[in-house]
Structure 1
Amino acid sequence: MVLAIQAPAKLNRFLAVLGRRADGFHELELVTTVLEGVANLTDTLEGEPASTLTLAITGPTGDGLVADESNLVLKAWRLLEEEAKRPLPATLHLEKRIPHGAGLGGGSSDAAAALRLGNRMFDLGLEDQVLLRMAARLGSDVPLFLLGGTVLGLGRGERVFPLRPVPLEPILLVHPGLHVSTPSVYRALQDVGYPFPEALASQPEGAVPPWRNDLTGAALWVCPPLAEVRDALRDTSGEPLLCGSGSCWAARYARVQDRDAAAARISGLRPDWDLWRV
C-alpha cells in the first residue's frame, strides 16, 4: 500500500544571529511557522515497501535535484535503517513544489517527511524524541518540521520548542527564481557584521514576534539582485522580510485586499517571479 506524507514550507518570522560559536556554526534564535495547508508550497513524499531502495523526483521544482545518497530524503532513510538495524527497502517518490535555495526549508521538510514515512511504513514505533534526535543530525531546520505549527528554535536552530499558535497577517511570498547559497550568506556575516546581537525579548502570550531577519544584510551582500524584490514589495506598502538566507521574500499587509492588490501589481510587472498568498 502506498503511503503519502505532506512536506510543507516554513516561514521564519524572527531570526536572530547572536554570534559565531567555537564549532564554526552560529548561535541562533528563531520563531518559525510551518505553512501547512498551502498546496502550491507543499512537497509530497510517497512510498511503499519494495525489494530495493529507490527515489524518484518529479514536480515543478524538481529539475536539477539528484536522487543519490546526497539527497536529504535518502540520508534520513539511512538514519532510519541505522536505528532499525536492518534495511528498509522501499520505492519512494518525491513531488517537489517548494523551490530549492529559496529559504523556505524544502529539503529539510522532505527529510522530516521521510522520517515520518519510514517510521509508519515499517511500523518501527520510534518515539518523537528519537525522531527529533535523528532530525537534528540531518540539519538545523529538520526538527521544526516534526513539531509543526509555530516553533521556537535555539542553538543552530535544532533545539526546538512548540509555541502557542500566533496567526499570520495576510502574507505575500515572492520568489524571483534566484538561488542563494546558505553557507555563503553565513560566511558574509564576517564582512557585514551582526546587525542586532540581541535575543528575543520576553513576549506576552499570543503576541506577534518581531518581523526580523539578521541574515538580510549578508544575503544582499552575496546576491545584490535580491534588493529588487524587496523594493517592489515596499512599493506596494508591504513590509518585506527575507525568508531565511533567501532568495524568497515575505511581505505582510494590514488587509487581505492590500495583499491581493500587491500580488496583482507585482505579477503584472514581473510575470517571471513566483507568488504565493498565505
Structure 2
Amino acid sequence: MITDDSIIVDGNAKINLTLDILGKRPDGYHEVAMVMQSIGLHDTVKLSKIPRGIELVLDVPGLEADEQNLAWRAAQLLLGGEETPGGVRIELTKRIPIAAGLAGGSADAAAVLRGVNALYHLGLTQEELCAYGAKLGSDIPFCIMGGTMMATGRGEVLEALSPVPPFWVVLAKPKISVSTAWAYRNYDEQGTEVHPDNAAIREKIAGHDREGIASLLCNVLECVTIKQYPVIAQYKAWMMEKGALASMMSGSGPTVFGLFSSEGEAQSAAAYLEERTDADIFVCQTADKNHDEN
C-alpha cells in the first residue's frame, strides 16, 4: 500500500532448498552454490516521509534501532547523500525470528530499499537495488527479488529458476541462536562428504516435480550445527513422522523446516511440535517473486 507520504512493504523470509560451500575466496567470503526459496512468513515495514534523517521504530526489545540495524543502513544508502530528497521513518513489525537462518535482517533491508525507491520515486531498477543491497549483505539481493533462485558467488549472484510447485511449510525455531560466522568456520575445519546435487534439483524444479525436489534437499552446514545442537535432528525426525515430504535446517540454522503437500498435514505437524517443544512454530506457504510497489 502506498500514498504520497507513506508506503507499507513486506519483507519475506527465505529457506534454503540446497546449500553448498565450494571453498574460501580471496576476499575472505565463502564461494557458495544454493537454491533459495521465498516463503510467506514476513516482516512488515512501514516507511513514512520526514524532512530529514532516519528514524527506526521496532517492536522487538533489545534489537538495535540505529546504524547497526540493516534496515537503518539500507535507508542510509539511498538517502544519505547531499542531494537526498528527504528522510524516512521506518516502523518495523517483526515476525521472522532473529538469528534463525531465515534472512530476517536481510528481508527488512530489502523491503526498505524497495520501499524508499518507491516512496521517493528514485527510479532505481531492480538490478541497481540489488547492487546496493550486496554492499550490506549477501542475502539482500535475493530478498529484493524473491521467488526461487540459484545463488552463487557469495550468494549475491542470482539466476531465476521456475517457481517451485506450491508447498506448505512448517518452521520450528529452537530457543537457540547460531552465528553464521561460527557455522562457516567450523565447516572449514571439518567439511563434509555429502553435497547437494544442484543440477538435479534444478531439473526437478523445472519439471514441477514435488517429490523429486523434496528428495534432493541438502545443506552442508547441517553436519556442523546438528553436532552442536542435536535438537535440530530431533525436530527433523518429528517433521518426517508427521508426514513431511522432506525436512531440513535452513541456512546456518537453527530453524528446521518441513515441506508438506497440504495445509491439514502442515497444521497437524505444527500442533505436534508445539506440544513437544518450546520452539517458535510457524506455518506458511512458499512464495513467488516480489513485486515493486512503484
Question: What TM-score, normalized by structure 1, do the two folds share?
Answer: 0.89
Which SS does the other structure have where 1:79 is aligned? helix
Residue 171 to residue 92, structure 1, CA distance change in 2 (3 Å): closer
**In terms of mean alpha carbon deviation, does 185-194 or 90-99 score higher?**
185-194
Contact 1:17 1:28 in 2 (8 A): yes
- Structure 2: stretches of 5+ with no match in the other structure: 285-294
Q: Deviations 1:161-190 (Å, cap 9, x if unpaired)?
A: 211101143332111222111110001102
SS in 1 for 2:149: strand
Aligned residues: 270
**Cα distance in structure 2, aligned partners of 1:47 and 1:78:** 13
**Are the structure 2 counterparts of residues 43 and 84 from structure 1 closer, same or farther at C-alpha, using a change threshold of 3 Å?**
farther
Query: Deviation at 1:48?
Result: 1.3
**2:49 matched to which residue of 1?**
49
The amino acid that maps onto 1:211 is L
Cross-structure match for 2:35: 31
Q: Deviations over 1:191-218 (max 9, x none)?
A: 3213335662254323554211111011
Q: 2:262 & 2:30 partners in 1: Cα distance? A: 36
Correspondences of 1:35-184 after superposition (within 5 Å): 35=39, 38=40, 41-51=41-51, 52-58=53-59, 62-82=60-80, 85-86=83-84, 88-184=86-182
After the TM superposition, which of the residue ranges 44-53 and 200-209 deviates more from structure 2? 200-209
Is 2:255 aligned against 1:244? no
SS at match of 1:9: strand
Question: SS of the residue aligned with 2:199?
Answer: coil
For residue 222 of structure 2, what is the aligned residue in structure 1? 216
For 2:177, give the aligned amino acid.
Answer: H
Match of 2:14 in 1: 10
**Deviations 1:114-147 (CA, angstroms, capped at 9, x unpaired):** 1111111111111222111111111110001111
- Cα gap change, 1:21 to 1:237, in 2 (>3 Å): same
Q: Distance in 1 between matches of 2:82 and 2:134?
A: 18
Q: What are structure 1's unaligned runs of at least 5 residues?
A: none
The answer to whether the Cα contact below 8 Å between 2:170 and 2:266 also exists between their aligned partners in 1 is: yes
Displacement after TM superposition at 1:79 (Å):
1.2
Task: State how far apart, in whole Å, the 1-side matches of 2:148 and 2:198 are.
Answer: 15
How far apart in 2 are the matches of 1:97 and 1:174? 13
Q: In structure 2, how many angstroms separate the alpha carbons of the residues matched to 1:223 and 1:15?
A: 19
- The letter for the 2-side match of 1:44 is T
Residues 1:189 and 1:81: Cα distance change in structure 2 (over 3 Å): same
| Percent pairwise identity | 33
- In 2, the alpha carbon distance for the partners of 1:9 and 1:275 equals 14
Amino acid in the other structure paired with 2:130: L
Q: Distance in 2 between matches of 1:234 and 1:85?
A: 55
Distance 1:3 1:81 in 2: 16
1:145 alignment partner, SS class: helix
Q: CA deviation at 1:240?
A: 1.9
**Whole-angstrom CA distance in 1 between matches of 2:16 and 2:180:** 14
AA paired with 1:29? A
- Tell me which residue corresponds to 2:292: none
Counterpart residue number, 1:187: 185
| Structural RMSD (CA) | 2.1
C-alpha separation in 2, matches of 1:85 and 1:161 = 34
Determine if contact 1:184/1:222 at 8 Å carries over to the other structure: no
Secondary structure in structure 2 of the residue aligned to 1:134: helix
Q: TM (normalized to structure 2)? A: 0.84
Following the alignment from structure 2 to structure 1, what is the Cα–Cα distance between the partners of residues 195 and 283? 32
Whole-angstrom CA distance in 2 between matches of 1:115 and 1:277: 27
